[in-house]
Chain A
Amino acid sequence: MFTKYIFFFLSVLALYSAVMVLVSKKPIHSVLFLTLAFFAIAGHYVLLNAQFLAVVHVIVYAGAIMVLFLFTVMLLNLNADERSPKPAWVNFIAFVAGCMLMLTLVGVFRGYDIRVAQDPSLSQIGLVKNLGRILYHDYLVPFELSSVLFLTAMVGAVLLGKKEQL
C-alpha cells in the first residue's frame, strides 16, 4: 500500500514537471523543471529496486546533462521569450496528434498481461554487484565500444565549438 502511494506521488510529480517544461516561457525554468522530472524518475528506479540505474541516472542526467543545458542557456544569454510562437491551429493539430498517439498506445497495452510476473522489490538484478558482473562478462564489447563513442562525441563537440574556422 505504502509503495503505491509513493508510486502515485512520483508519477504525479514527474507528469507535472514534464508539462511545466512545455508551459514555461523561459528556457531556464524549463531546465529546472526537467531536473525535477529527472529526480522523480530516479525515485521510480529506486522503487523498482534498480539502485545502480538510480545512481547512474542522477549522476548522468541531473549532474552532467542538466549542467550542460544550464551552461548553454546562461552563457549564450538565451533566457528570452519566444519571439514568434506558432499559430493556434498548429498547436491544436499537435495536441490532437499527441492524443491520438496516447490512444493508440493505450489500445495496444490494454490487452497485455505479463506471464511470469515477479515482485520487483525482491529481484536482486538491479544491485551493482550483479549488474557489474553481467556488464563485464556478457556485454564487454559494447561497453568498450560505448567508450569509443564517448571519445568521438567529445572530439566532435570540441571541434564544433571552436571559434576559428578550420
Chain B
Amino acid sequence: MFYCSIVQVFKIQNSKFIVQYSIFMMNTLNSIPIHYYLIFCSLIFCIGVFGVLIKRNALVILMSIELMINSINLLLAAFSAYTNDPAGQIFVFFIMVVAAAEVAIGLAIVVLIFRTTHSIDINVLNKLKW
C-alpha cells in the first residue's frame, strides 16, 4: 500500500504491474483495524492534555494543544478513509486552517506577554485569578 501510494503520486498507476500489485495487496492490506487508530490517537490526545496540565511555559502549552489537534485530525482522516466518505478529509483541511490561524495569534500574544513581564511563565499571569 505504501508503494501504491507513492506510485499514485507520480501518476503512473496505469501500468500492469501496479494493478497486479494492488490486487495482491488487497488481500493482505486490510490488516490494520480501526481500533489501532482509536487507541493511538487517544494516547496522543492524553499526552497533550497531560502537557497542558503540568507545563508552565506558554510555548510548550501551545505545542501540547497542537498535539491534541493533530490526533483529532488523524482520527478524522482515518474514519474518512475507512468509511469512504470524503467529508472527513475536508474537515481535516478546515481544522488545519483554524490551527494555523490560532498558532499565529497565540504566538503574537506570547510575544506580548514576554514584552510586558519579561517571562513566559504563565504563573505570573494571575491578576484575573480571584
Q: Contact check, B86 vs A34: say whether CB atoms are below 8 A apart.
A: no
Contact A91 B77 (CB under 8 A): no
Q: Mark B18-35, 1 if CB is under 8 A from A, else 0.
A: 000010011011111011
Residues of A near B22 (CB, < 8 A) are 122
Pairwise interchain contact A90-B54, C-beta atoms closer than 8 A: yes
Could you tell me if B54 and A153 are in contact, using CB atoms closer than 8 angstroms?
no
Give the interface size class of chain B.
35 or more
Kindly state the separation between the CA atoms of A98 and B42 in the bound complex, as whole angstroms. 10
Q: Which residues of B contact A90 (CB under 8 A)?
A: 53-54
| CA–CA, A41 and B77, complex, Å | 11
Closest-CB distance, A24 to chain B (whole angstroms): 9
Report the count of interface residues on A (CB-CB < 8 A).
89
Whether the pair A94, B108 counts as a contact (CB closer than 8 A) is: no
Say which residue of B25, B31, B56 sits within 8 Å of A84 (CB atoms): B56
- The DSSP consensus for interface residues of chain A is helix
Please encode chain A, from 36 to 47, with 1 for each CB lying within 8 Å of some chain B CB and 0 for all others: 011001001111
Q: Which of B50-87 contact A (CB under 8 A)?
A: 50-51, 53-57, 59-60, 62-64, 66-67, 70, 73-74, 77-78, 80-87
Query: Which residues 1-56 of B sit at the A interface, judged by CB distance below 8 A?
Result: 1-2, 4-6, 8-9, 22, 25-26, 28-32, 34-36, 38-40, 42-51, 53-56
In A44-87, the 8 Å CB interface with B consists of 44-53, 56-57, 60-61, 64-65, 68-69, 72-73, 76, 78, 82-86
- Whether B28 pairs with A112 at a CB distance below 8 angstroms is no
Residues of A within 8 A of B101 (CB): 149-150, 152-153
19 contacts between A and B (CB under 8 A): A1-B31, A3-B1, A3-B31, A4-B31, A18-B48, A22-B60, A41-B70, A50-B80, A65-B66, A65-B103, A68-B107, A85-B56, A90-B54, A114-B34, A119-B26, A121-B25, A122-B22, A153-B102, A161-B112
- Listed in ascending order, the chain B residues whose CB lies under 8 Å from chain A are 1-2, 4-6, 8-9, 22, 25-26, 28-32, 34-36, 38-40, 42-51, 53-57, 59-60, 62-64, 66-67, 70, 73-74, 77-78, 80-87, 89-90, 92-94, 96-105, 107-112, 114, 119-121, 123
